[in-house]
């Protein structure tokens, strides 16, 4: 069954998923690229990213039937799950099973195609930006709270208001974390280049 993604709003998608779990595909297709890109920019490693994305969407798939729209979008909810999965990954370095091994989809080739296209494009982007790799390497040295706000602000282009919503924090706290985090990151990067 083909689902019309653009025509349905999130509440309609949620209602459809409650009766047909296969409708989760719409969520995957709508948000996969942005979640994948965010995680990749945090890890700078394609294989780790694929694992974390798999865990993110697997957890979302398992919990979405209980998701109720209460002022936060599915996208924000997915970012929250992704942030938790990134933090778990960095703490334990555990590797999860890939989404394709855990969820049988009617069109698995579509998702494999997305994965391959992303791998090629993102790896080319990384080769062209060596400074980016230095910043990401140094960013990984910072505590998780700084990594998260800096990544959401500068890699994902999120506004402070949206970051506050994703992280369930006040906007002033986000500004403070950004300021302190950028100061620490700048110091680390300067030490590396000396």
Please provide the DSSP assignment of 9-48 as one string. -HHHHHHHHHH-GGGHHHHHHHHHHHHHHHHHHHH--HHH
Residues of the chain with pLDDT under 70: 1-8, 93-112, 114-115, 125-130, 193-194
Local structure of 116: helix, strand or coil: helix
| pLDDT score at 98 | 42
Would you state the structure tokens that stand for residue 113, as one six-digit string? 């195609």
How is domain 129-194 classified at the CATH fold level? Arc Repressor Mutant, subunit A (1.10.10)
User: d(Cα 94, Cα 180) in Å, to the nearest integer?
Assistant: 29
Q: What is the DSSP letter of 69?
A: -
User: d(Cα 92, Cα 74) in Å, to the nearest integer?
Assistant: 27
Same fold, 8-128 and 129-194: no
Sign of CA dihedral 46, 48, 54, 57: negative
Would you state the structure tokens that stand for residue 146, as one six-digit string? 């700084």
Distances (CA, A) of 133 to 89, 128, 130, 186: 19, 10, 5, 14
| pLDDT score at 107 | 55
- The ranges assigned to domains in the chain are 8-128, 129-194
Q: Which CATH architecture has domain 8-128?
A: Orthogonal Bundle (1.10)
Look up the pTM and report it.
0.63
Distances (CA, A) of 57 to 31, 97, 99, 137: 10, 11, 7, 26
Would you state the structure tokens that stand for residue 156, as one six-digit string? 């994902």
pLDDT in tens, 62-87: 998 888 777 788 999 999 999 999 99
């Amino acid at each position: 069954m083909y689902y019309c993604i653009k025509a349905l709003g999130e509440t309609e998608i949620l209602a459809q998923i409650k009766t047909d779990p296969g409708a989760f595909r719409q969520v995957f297709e709508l948000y996969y690229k942005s979640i994948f890109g965010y995680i990749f920019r945090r890890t700078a490693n394609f294989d780790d990213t694929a694992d974390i994305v798999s865990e993110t969407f697997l957890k979302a798939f398992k919990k979405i039937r209980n998701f109720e729209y209460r002022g936060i979008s599915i996208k924000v909810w997915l970012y929250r799950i992704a942030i938790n999965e990134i933090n778990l990954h960095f703490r334990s370095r555990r590797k999860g099973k890939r989404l394709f091994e855990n969820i049988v989809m009617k069109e698995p080739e579509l998702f494999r195609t997305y994965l391959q296209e992303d791998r090629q494009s993102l790896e080319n982007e990384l080769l062209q930006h060596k400074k980016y790799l230095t910043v990401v390497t140094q960013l990984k040295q910072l505590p998780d709270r700084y990594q998260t706000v800096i990544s959401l602000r500068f890699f994902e282009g999120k506004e402070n208001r949206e970051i506050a919503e994703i992280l369930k924090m006040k906007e002033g706290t986000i500004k403070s974390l950004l300021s302190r985090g950028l100061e620490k990151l700048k110091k680390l990067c300067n030490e590396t280049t000396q």
